[in-house]
Each structure stands twice: as structure tokens, then as C-alpha cells.
Structure 1
Amino acid sequence: MEKLKNKTALITGGTKGIGYGIAEALLNEGINVVITGRTLKTAEKAAEKLNSNTTDGAKAMAVEADVRNYDSQQKAVSKAVEQFGSIDFVIANAGLGHFGSVEELTAEQWQETIETNLTGPFFTLKATLDQLKKTKGYYITISSLAGTNFFKGGSAYNASKFGVTGFTQAAMLDVRDYGIKMSTIMPGSVSTQFNGNEPDDKDAWKIQPEDIGQMVVDLLKMNPRTLPSKIEVRPTTPK
């Protein structure tokens, strides 16, 4: 759809995995993307690769930012607006996982999981809210089926993703008064580098990052009158 061309999206954790797959899909629609990562070198390497593969005139820009730090998020927003003029779409994707029993989990692992997976999307929304008000934009969080299905050894991860799902649904009711749309996508198994995995043929049965990218594009193309606010997605055939 032509209306997506020349828009701008900010993607946290866009250097690999789901975030990178979303960035590719948006670039192919003519949307400029700003990808953030904890190190500028990693983000720049990913942006260079994205730019080498796009032919639609849209550009990828790299920004160093830590979603756990509100000031860092505000600086990322300022750089994105300085480069592209506005922010129309935000995908809060950055996340990590520490797994183990409550006896095994350290206080630091708990804190890092909650701060990255839950506080991160809150800081990202706070930092981008003024821009989204201006553009009547779209804010999408990447939660997980772990945000509704608990499992042994998942206390920290489950808590963070249950929180993301609840946060997105509640905040959606707040921001829709400004014409902002808000959704959460809750994937099951995805072929990414998450938790030290190296994707290869063994992961062919899983959801692929480009599948999530296509889902984001479909949401952005949805008629503005309709809002799929919570989407569960899983592999068609489990391993």
C-alpha cells in the first residue's frame, strides 16, 4: 500500500532474529527503519546488511540504545526524528531470557529479565508517545505465548511476558484516545538466536522471523477502524 511508503519505524532489538526480520519486511514496504542495539557496532553492521538488500529507496539507520534506560530511549527517538522527521510505527521487540528454578535464578538475572522485557516496552512507549500522538501511529510489542502459558523454570521469563501482554492491553485503552493503535504479538517457537540457539535446518518447523515481519506489515495495512489487539501465533506443526 502506497500510504506506508516514506513512513518511519523504530524497532528495539532490531539487529537480529525477530527484530531483524521485521526490519526487512518494513523496508520492503518502503518504510524507513531505525534499529537499536546495545552496541553501536552491532547495530551498524545489521543496518549495513539491511541497506544492501533493499531496493525500494527506504533506509535503515543504526542507533545504540539500551531499553532498560529511559534517557537512552529518549536519545534514540531524538536521533530517529532528526534523521527522518517523525516516527510512525514502533515495535518493542528487545528481549532476553534467563531460565531456571527460583532457587537457581540470581537476583541479577531476575532484574535483567524484568527490566529488559517489561520495563523496556514501557520506557519505549513513554519515549515515543509524543511522536505517535502527532502521527496517530502504531505501537506493537513482541510478547510470547509464555505471556499466557506458564512453565517450569520460567518464573522470570513468564513474569516478564505476562507483564508485557497485560501492559500492552491496558496501555492500548489509554492511547487509543489519541488515535494510536496498539497490539501485542505472542509467538511460540521462532527460529532465532534466542538463548544461544544457532538457527539451521533443525529449526525449519518453527515460525521464521520473516513470518513475524509479514504479520507486522499486515497489522499496519489493516483498515484503521479495526484493531487486532492481541495475536497468538504458533508453528502449524509442532516438533
Structure 2
Amino acid sequence: MSETAKKIALVTGGSSGIGEATARALAADGWHVIVAARRLDRLEKIAEEIGGEARELDVTSQESVDKLAASIDHLHLLVNNAGGAKGLDPIEKANIADWEWMYETNVLGTLRVTQAFLDKLTADEGHIINISSVAGIQPYAGGAGYNAAKFGVTAMNKVMRIEFVDRPIRITEINPGRVKTDFSLIRFKGDAAKADAVYADKLNLSAEDIAESIRWVAGLPAHMNIDRMVITPRDQVI
């Protein structure tokens, strides 16, 4: 396909992990992919390798989101992947700043980007894929802040389906289970030993596993909508 004929996908949080793997999978499937995140140097390398575009984006900044939206005329697929967790503290010792970051990034970040591109996605009969987590379904001790954020994403996805049902767009939620990426390293603020212990002696999904599910959902006929996909390794039950 020519560059002008390709459908355009935007992947937030595209500089590593699930976001990077998704960008690569979509590009291999014929999409023109815009990878967006804060680490522009990393994005530029990925974009060069997949024949896409790199754009700097901080989903916690309305100015940053608006600037990105103003630079993109058409959009057929939005993958709201930017997110993450910080800390594993019990509620009685919860770090308010960590909770604020998780809510700003996971919930309000998804809201900002969706609002900014909704009209363009509608005009192009597009698709929104929101990356939540099994943490948005099943709470666990120490996870209250992340649970609250991802429960928020799950609720927002359901309301999008209700409120956007008369628009020619699709809405999908992906709920990954245990995926071995730098997720836990970020959660534990660089403590590699704690991060590695999360995945030790367990089956783990890869970022590419989740990217494959996103690629498949995005490639389905436009009259089909996958509301939710829950994906876990065989040894993880929620």
C-alpha cells in the first residue's frame, strides 16, 4: 500500500513494552503508525525501523495532547496505552503522590487523548482500543491505587460504548495479566530485585503477546466490535 492509502494508527506510551510491540505489529500489518510518548529519542529509533512517525507526548499535559492533535489530520485507530503503576503500599500507608500520578496517567490521560481525537476518529470511522489491566477487574492487596485507576479505565470504556454507540467507531478494552516488561521496574521505582521477583518461576506473557491481540482486534471488519479481551498466562487465574 502507498503511504497515502495506509490507515493511520496512534499508539500512546509507544516508546517501550506493550506500546512499542503494538507499534511494530501494526506497522507489519500495513498501518502507518505514529508512536507517541515522552522519550522522543527512543521513539525516533522505533519510528525509523517501522517506517512510522515519532511524536513527543505527555498524556498528563493538556497542552501536549492538544499540540499532538493539532498536528494530525486523520486518525483511524487510537491505542490508549500510556499508563503504569507506582508503589505497592497498603492503603494505610498509601503515597498520595503515587495515586495522583496513576490517576493522571491512566484515567485522565486516556480521557484527554480520546477527547482530542474523537471527532477525527468519528470522521474516519475509527477504532479506540483502551489498554486496561486485570487490575481493572480483580483487586489485590497493595494494589488499591492501581486498581482504582484501572477500574476507572474499565468504567470509562463501558461508558464510551454507551455514549458513542451512534457514532461509526468501535471501542475495545484489552485487559492484560502478568506481562514481563519494565512495568514492575517502574512500579518499584528502579528496584530491579523487586521487579524481577514478580516474574520469577512463573509463566509470563510478553509485550508481543498483547500486541498480537491488539493487531487482531484492529484488523477485524468494521461492523464487528470486541468489547473486552482478558489475556493471562496459563498459570494466572483472576
Q: State the 1:172 CA deviation.
A: 1.7
TM-superposed CA distance for 1:133, in Å, is: 1.0
SS in 1 for 2:204: coil
Residue 128 of structure 1 is aligned with which of 117, 130, 147?
Answer: 117
Residues in 1 aligned to 2:122 and 2:63: alpha-carbon distance in whole angstroms: 20
Q: What's the secondary structure of 1:176's corresponding residue?
A: coil
What's the TM-score once normalised by structure 1's chain length?
0.86
Q: Does 1:86 align with 2:84?
A: no
Do the aligned residues in 2 keep the contact of 1:137 with 1:181 (CA within 8 Å)? yes
- The structure 2 residue matched to 1:62, chosen from 49, 54, 62, is 54
Query: The residue matched to 2:79 in structure 1 has which SS?
Result: strand
Change (3 A) 1:35 1:132: same
Alignment of 1:95 onto 2:93: no
C-alpha distance after superposition, 1:146-198 (max 9, x if no partner): 00100001111000000101101111221231111001000100121112147
- Offset at 1:202? 5.3
Matched with 1:12 is: 12
Which whole-Å CA distance do the structure 2 matches of 1:138 and 1:238 have between them?
A: 29
SS in 2 for 1:177: coil
Partner SS state of residue 166, structure 2: helix
Equivalent position to 1:211, from 209, 212, 235? 209
CA contact (8 A) 1:63 1:76 kept: yes
TM-score w.r.t. structure 2 length? 0.87
AA at the equivalent of 1:219: V
| 1:74 and 2:66 matched | yes
Matched to 1:78, the amino acid is A
Percent identity of paired positions between Structure 1 and Structure 2: 31
**Matching residue of 1:140:** 129
| Structure 2 counterpart of 1:25, one-letter code | A
2:160 partner amino acid: A
Match of 1:166 in 2: 155
Contact 2:177/2:236 (<8 A) preserved = no
Q: 1:132 to 1:203 in 2, by over 3 A?
A: farther
Partner of 2:43: 43
Q: How far apart are 1:221 and its partner, in Å?
A: 2.1
Q: How many residues align?
A: 224
Cα–Cα, structure 1 residues 174 and 203, in superposed 2: closer, same or farther, change >3 Å?
farther
Separation of aligned partners in 1, 2:220 and 2:140: 33
Q: Partner residue of 2:191? A: none
Q: How has the CA–CA distance of structure 1 residues 203 and 28 changed in structure 2, closer, same or farther, with 3 Å as cutoff?
A: farther
Instruction: Map Cα deviations across residues 211-237 of structure 1 (whole Å, 9 max, x no partner).
Output: 111111211222322211111111123
8 Å Cα contact 2:76-2:121 kept in structure 1:
yes
The 1-side partners of 2:165 and 2:184 are apart by 35
| Structure 2 spans left out of the alignment, 5+ residues | 186-194
